[in-house]
Structure 1
Amino acid sequence: MTREIDRRTLLKGSLVLAASGTVVACSDDRVVPGPSATAPSPAATEAAGGGPTSERPTRVTSFGPNGTHYPDDVPWLGERAATELVAECSWQDIGRTIQGLLAEEVAAGVIIRVKPGTLAGGGAGSSAPAVLTNVGNPAWTRNVVVCPLDGFGSVAFASTGIRIDQSARVSLFGFVGSGAFTMTRCQNVQVGWGRFDAMSITRGGRDIALFELVLGFRQNSDDTVGVRPIETFPMVNLTRDGCVFGPSVKPDGDDSHCDTIQLEGTGTGVFGPVTTTDCVDYGSSNAAELLDDKLTLAEYRHCLILGGQLPWQVYPLRPGDYPGDPNAFSGDCQDVRLTDTVVAGAIGRMGFTQVQNSTLSYAPTDSQQPRESGAWIVDPSVAEWTREQIMGQQAIPDYEISTLRALWSW
């Protein structure tokens, strides 16, 4: 439902959170102002004018970002949605704007465009103060898109990092940050077209989707990405499309276990599946992929998983860095499937079930061959790829902000 500017519905009164986490609005919380009403608050400002005009791109297969990996089920950033809103650069304003929406508006399509600036954060730990809590409604049939008003990179997350908690049906696109981004017990959340230091998805989660995120490439002894369900919380249906997860490099002599993505089941809830498509993962000091045995299924479709010495071709080691030779895979998940994927580096005792049209940089042992279908193609030359060969297979020459800004435009 498109709203007239002079009939913008305001949020009045407080929102009560039901025990289930679903937002329940007080009966008198929405008022339609007449011609003499007070001007809307910043959170209730509707975008005027024709809005962006770029067309939704047709998805193209590639290794890493190419500007076409974007969810089909939400409004395109470059089109004017049925409901267009502008929020101040504050989480309070963003949250208030989302909570003021009606289910039928969300179903028709909503984009909230955030004014330039830096969004504050209280840290990215799993118990750090959350910037959004219980925002959105899991009963909605579509996500609300939140993006910068002035394009990619015009809004940054605080360097201290941020956490969003128990939120649902929200899509965050086009943000940058030199800190980490953490999600706890979120569902139907999409994050894309962004570059951050690191990411954590923990406690629990459901239907989390990442699109063309660039993470890592840093001196740090923590994992680039940690996915860790705890207690009885499920962590189900995580997907990645067109992402690049770069190394985290620990100092020489540090005994930390440093992986690029660590999928670690520390609870008893259902864990998996995790599906990765068109992504590039570079090994960290220990490994690129650590897949715990509690993970039910990990599937890779058209990906580059680059361990050994290949990460340092793109992200050269510096004096004092640990001189790692990272595994491609570590851990013992018993259902790992690969299609059209290239793997460089050791693959350990991983339980491969299906390997179709996929290449390994060395001859595997019999126990490393898939036990259900397919077989590895062996190509030792992969282990000797140069930076030019690695980047030459991707749609962009590097992962710099200026390059990403040109790629992610709307």
Structure 2
Amino acid sequence: MTDRISRRTLLASAAFIVPTFIAPHVPLDPTEPLTRRTTSGPASVPEATAAVAAVRSYGPNGTHWPANTPTLGSQVGKVIDVACDWAAIGKAIASVTDAQISAGVHIRIAPGTLKGFGSSSGSTPALKGFGRGTATKNILVSPKDGWGSVTIGDDVRLTNVKGVTFARINGRSVLLTDCSRTNWAHAKVSVNFRMTASSGIVRQCNAYEVVMADAKVDISDPLGYAAGSNAKITDSVWEGCYCAPVFRPEGASDHIDTLQMYGNGAYRGLTIRDSTLFGALNSALQLGGPKPEDPELGTPFLTLDHSILTAQVVAIQARYPLPAGAYAPKLGQAINGSGESGQLFAKDSYVFGSMYTTQWGTVENSFVAYSKAPANNKAVTGAWVYDPAMATVGAAWFDARTPTPTDAYLRSIWT
């Protein structure tokens, strides 16, 4: 079990009975693809090609990519081939100038297995203090021979790495600490993936198509977004991500949330877009709550954009039968924790389960499997739509919208 900055002492749990589930009409996706701004560099330096659009989906489809990073296969100004070794990767990151990064830098890793030194808050970082994040683009680091050719052999932690995008590197457990403007993209993890702040303010630490594909029996939260004392994490995106459920072992007492926001420090500004999160025992999304000392109180705390969250009972019903040795869930909770009242936003999303009682800011074209949501989860603008017909939703509904991310599927979208 991995260490946590603050383990649940700040979180209020809400016990809801299993709600009636649903099958609402599917909201139409926007006719135009999701677009992003790109940032121009110095006039004297040619710019690397970056992604400008993504195809809307509920989970990975190969098109979600950070706008500040050259796309794989595009022409860049500098290519550096390195051994499958963290020291070689760090040396290559340190060797380039901002002008070179703006023209495009791609560090290509030879096939092999990178070492891991643990992913707890006290583990030795595999990389520490590399990158600056001052160029107009990020450095791209990815396998030379494509997805599946580089893996991380054990849990790994990266600390204070800035302005770097790590792509198509599979791992067991990955912890990004104090990594502003750093992205992890198009990667499969088997245990957990977390981004945290331990010192100062961390901004734009993002996940693009990070996938935990396989359900398992465990006591570890698969996804985390956290801040330690006197630190803050904000302005981060989890886009095109997917997480299978984690089932609690029989006899254990852990809550277990799929994506947990937590810590003694301030955390907010999280956007979950184009993603599917199947619930762990307690919930699919644990919001935690705001900190009185946060100077950004009154700004967006969480945005749920074109995504699906399910309670674990729905995960069992739709795709992942209860495994042997797992505790059978009694609750149908999808969202727990209050977040910041009036600073929660939802658009084109589905929540299959109950929600902690709190006020939302804006809710647009979003459906919930909880009859009390219209009264308990009112929004300043718009409203959650409850549809009792969702009781019929099963595997076919999910299969049509969010493909199971098998290795064959991931290979087809990431190559």
1:81 CA displacement: 1.4
1:360 CA displacement: 0.9
SS at match of 2:204: strand
Distance 1:76 1:365, change over 3 A: closer
Structure 1 residues 243-300: Cα deviation after superposition (integer angstroms, max 9, x where no partner): 1122221102211120001101312xx4211111111111001100000112761011
Q: Are 1:307 and 2:305 matched, yes or no?
A: no
Give the 5 Å matches for 1:72-83: 72-83=67-78
Aligned to 1:385: 393
TM-score, with structure 1 as normaliser: 0.81
Give the 5 Å matches for 1:175-194: 175-177=169-171, 179-194=172-187
Q: Conserved in 2, the CA contact under 8 Å of 1:309 and 1:383?
A: no
Aligned to 2:229: 231
SS at match of 2:267: coil
Q: Conserved in 2, the CA contact under 8 Å of 1:308 and 1:346?
A: no
Distance 1:366 1:67, change over 3 A: closer
Q: Measure, in 1, the Cα distance between the counterparts of 2:308 and 2:374.
A: 23
The answer to which structure, 1 or 2, has the higher relative contact order (CA under 8 A, 6+ apart) is 2
Greater Cα radius of gyration, structure 1 or 2: 1
Which residue type is aligned with residue 320 of structure 1?
G
Which residue type is aligned with residue 110 of structure 2?
K
Task: Choose which of 109, 126, 135 in structure 1 pairs with 2:121.
Answer: 126
Q: Measure, in 1, the Cα distance between the counterparts of 2:180 and 2:372.
A: 39
1:367 CA displacement: 4.1
Moved more, 358-367 or 168-177: 358-367
1:169 CA displacement: 0.4
1:130 CA displacement: 0.5
Task: Choose which of 76, 99, 102 in structure 1 pairs with 2:97.
Answer: 102
Task: Choose which of 279, 283, 288 in structure 1 pairs with 2:284.
Answer: 288
Aligned to 2:219: 221
Structure 1 residues 299-330: Cα deviation after superposition (integer angstroms, max 9, x where no partner): 11111111152212322211210112441100
Structure 1 residues 134-173: Cα deviation after superposition (integer angstroms, max 9, x where no partner): 0111323321000111111110011x21000011001011
Which residue type is aligned with residue 142 of structure 1?
K
Q: Conserved in 2, the CA contact under 8 Å of 1:284 and 1:326?
A: no
Q: Conserved in 1, the CA contact under 8 Å of 2:78 and 2:106?
A: yes
* Structure 1: runs of 5+ lacking an equivalent: 1-53
Q: Are 1:273 and 2:262 matched, yes or no?
A: no
Moved more, 167-176 or 214-223: 214-223
Q: Are 1:262 and 2:260 matched, yes or no?
A: yes
SS at match of 1:113: strand
Q: Conserved in 1, the CA contact under 8 Å of 2:182 and 2:206?
A: yes
Task: Choose which of 350, 368, 377 in structure 2 pairs with 1:360.
Answer: 368
Task: Choose which of 299, 316, 338 in structure 2 pairs with 1:332.
Answer: 338
Q: Measure, in 1, the Cα distance between the counterparts of 2:194 and 2:401.
A: 28
Q: Measure, in 2, the Cα distance between the counterparts of 1:271 and 1:200.
A: 13
Structure 1 residues 333-353: Cα deviation after superposition (integer angstroms, max 9, x where no partner): 122110111111011223322
Distance 1:102 1:366, change over 3 A: closer
Q: Measure, in 1, the Cα distance between the counterparts of 2:375 and 2:356.
A: 10
Q: Measure, in 2, the Cα distance between the counterparts of 1:358 and 1:315.
A: 24
Q: Measure, in 2, the Cα distance between the counterparts of 1:265 and 1:239.
A: 18
Q: Measure, in 2, the Cα distance between the counterparts of 1:250 and 1:66.
A: 29
1:399 CA displacement: 1.2
SS at match of 1:212: strand
Aligned to 2:406: 400
Q: Are 1:171 and 2:168 matched, yes or no?
A: no
Aligned to 2:65: 70
Aligned to 2:141: 146
Q: Measure, in 1, the Cα distance between the counterparts of 2:60 and 2:130.
A: 29
Which residue type is aligned with residue 272 of structure 1?
R
Q: Conserved in 1, the CA contact under 8 Å of 2:50 and 2:69?
A: no
Q: Measure, in 1, the Cα distance between the counterparts of 2:389 and 2:151.
A: 40
Which residue type is aligned with residue 412 of structure 2?
A
Which residue type is aligned with residue 314 of structure 1?
R
Aligned to 1:157: 152
Task: Choose which of 302, 322, 325 in structure 2 pairs with 1:317.
Answer: 322
Q: Conserved in 2, the CA contact under 8 Å of 1:344 and 1:383?
A: no
Q: Measure, in 2, the Cα distance between the counterparts of 1:124 and 1:326.
A: 31
Q: Are 1:112 and 2:89 matched, yes or no?
A: no
TM-score, with structure 2 as normaliser: 0.80
Which residue type is aligned with residue 245 of structure 1?
C
SS at match of 1:168: coil
Q: Are 1:212 and 2:209 matched, yes or no?
A: yes
Structure 1 residues 60-102: Cα deviation after superposition (integer angstroms, max 9, x where no partner): 1111111111122211102231111111100010001111111
1:59 CA displacement: 1.8
Which residue type is aligned with residue 236 of structure 2?
L
SS at match of 1:142: coil
Aligned to 1:9: none
Distance 1:164 1:311, change over 3 A: same
Task: Choose which of 87, 92, 97 in structure 2 pairs with 1:92.
Answer: 87
